[in-house]
Structure 1
């Protein structure tokens, strides 16, 4: 994590805790000539525009006080969306029974991209039910080999 995202995480923590919200992710990126600080928040019932506005207002005040970013940037506070990233062990535990897309650092059974229903997670291994040629198959993926993962929306 970069220095900026660490500081923002520390500043956002008490604000989010007070509001009953969870910090999902922080991105600090340059796009074109502009810098963006994106803070993704969530709660069990989902976040709305009022939650995002309140966090943005309070976090902006804290960022102005501490001033961890030496240049201008845009602060965006939003929900992680329907295809929420899975970053922490807790995220994987909460996603059991849901459709996910996983990418691994190295091939497993000749593949690096997997989509299916997360069937199990024990902190070390991810169980994933995938379809291979129309047949359901369970694949075990070591947690440390996951490069990135997210919920995947499916349309029936």
Structure 2
């Protein structure tokens, strides 16, 4: 019996929504007896807005200094535990993962979360990001800069926002780079602490 990732993803979405959470990413790794299903969650938009409002009104909220509230997922250990309990039950009852041996890991996406969807680029405009492209742009495939614009098809990074390293430092002539979303192999935020 083959693993049906789309069915698992849809089930994770449904269970997450029941806990006021959004599914950020889901990955299945390993083989044989060392299989791991990793689920990354964050509070849904309504809960994140409430979290941001509480953080803004309470300077003693215990949030890391200098970290934009929007980059925090707001997910607690309790959220992860409740989701894992309910999602694990559904996985087992519906036998979505053949065989009985696998590990379910549930966490927030972290401060250096992946940027996977177009809405991520819009939401995190103004944040530092690291982007790797499929094909080279100006003889470079690796860029780190501030995400300054996104028009739905192209992201713009301000490379002057960070000190460039390695090949990027030697070949950098422009202060900004436009990267078609279709050319992004992987991208993630860079923590600013």
TM-score by length of structure 2 reads 0.74
What corresponds to 2:67 in structure 1? none
1:125 alignment partner in structure 2: 154
Q: 2:184 aligns with which of 116, 123, 146?
A: 146
C-alpha separation in 1, matches of 2:117 and 2:16: 17
Deviations 1:110-139 (A, max 9, x none): 110000000000111101000266998121
Pairwise CA distance, 1:4:
3.3
Provide, for residues 130-154 of structure 1, a one-character-per-residue CA deviation record: whole Å limited to 9, x for no partner.
0266998121111100000000124
Q: Quick one: structure 1 residues 105 and 25, their matched pair in 2 at CA, closer, same or farther if it must change by over 3 Å?
A: same
- The list of structure 1 runs, each at least 4 consecutive aligned residues, that deviate by more than 2 angstroms after superposition, is 2-5, 131-136
Q: Does the 8 Å CA contact 1:97/1:119 hold for their aligned counterparts?
A: yes
Q: CA deviation at 1:5?
A: 2.4
Structure 2 gap segments, 5+ residues each: 52-73
Quote the Cα distance in structure 2 between the aligned partners of 1:80 and 1:15.
17
Question: What is aligned with 2:13?
Answer: 13
Of 137, 140, 151, which residue of structure 1 is paired with 2:175? 137
Kept in 1, the 8 Å contact 2:3–2:97? The answer is: no
Please tell me the root mean square deviation across aligned C-alpha atoms, in Å: 2.1
Deviation string 1:48-88 (CA, Å, 9 cap, x unpaired) is: 10000010000011001111222210001111111000000
Structure with a larger share of its residues in strand? 1
Whether the aligned pair in 2 keeps the contact of 1:129 and 1:136 (CA below 8 Å) is no
Aligned with 2:81 (options 53, 56, 77): 53
CA separation in 2, counterparts of 1:31 and 1:138? 42
Rg larger for? 2
**As a proportion of its length, which structure holds more helix?**
2
Contact 1:42–1:79 under 8 Å retained in 2: yes
Structure 1: 5+ residue runs without aligned partners? Answer: none
CA distance, structure 2, for counterparts of residue 119 and residue 58 of structure 1: 39
1:114: which partner in 2?
143
Number of the residue aligned with 2:124: 95
